[in-house]
Amino acid sequence: KAGVTQTPRYLIKTRGQQVTLSCSPISGHRSVSWYQQTPGQGLQFLFEYFSETQRNKGNFPGRFSGRQFSNSRSEMNVSTLELGDSALYLCASGPGQGNEKLFFGSGTQLSVL
């Protein structure tokens, strides 16, 4: 069974630009969650999607948004990038029952210059 696939692996952007990250969950999984990982704050929850609907959202500004498609693939968008947005963005998939173990991708390393 293929794992969680995230693209691209690395991104370099400048302040003010926007970026879109992609995540393909494990086949059959309908829930996709996004997390931000930084050395200072650790892993922080961004949002979760199930069947194209956002069910849960973390404490991030509105510049962070996401969506899920009918095939469960998900995208995350960050607009008007700031230096502090530099981080490893991780996608996790699960069946969607809630409170279940999650399977993480290798992440997208975003650097904002």
Partner 1 sequence: EDQVTQSPEALRLQEGESSSLNCSYTVSGLRGLFWYRQDPGKGPEFLFTLYSAGEEKEKERLKATLTKKESFLHITAPKPEDSATYLCAVYPGGYNKLIFGAGTRLAVHP
Interface with partner 1 (CB under 8 A), residue from 56, 71, 77, 80: 56
With binding defined as CB under 8 A, does residue 11 bind partner 1?
no
Beta carbon nearer to partner 1, 66 or 107: 107
Beta strands 10-13; 108-112: pairing state: parallel
Q: Contact with partner 1 (CB under 8 A): which of 55, 80, 82, 83?
A: 55
Q: Is position 66 an interface residue for partner 1 (rule: CB under 8 A)?
A: no
Which residues neighbour 96 within 8 Å (Cβ) at sequence distance 6 or greater?
Answer: 29, 30, 31, 50, 51
Residue 44 in the binding site for partner 1 (CB under 8 A): yes
Interface with partner 1, residue 87, by CB under 8 A: no
Nearer to partner 1, 82 or 100 (CB): 100
- DSSP codes, 79-108: -S--GGG-EEEEEEEE-SSSS---EE---E
In angstroms, the CA 75 to CA 90 distance is 12
**Sheet of 5-7, strands arranged across:** 5-7, 19-24, 74-78, 64-68
Positions in the binding site for partner 1 (CB under 8 A): 4, 31, 33, 35, 42-45, 48, 50, 55-56, 58, 90, 92, 94, 96, 98-107
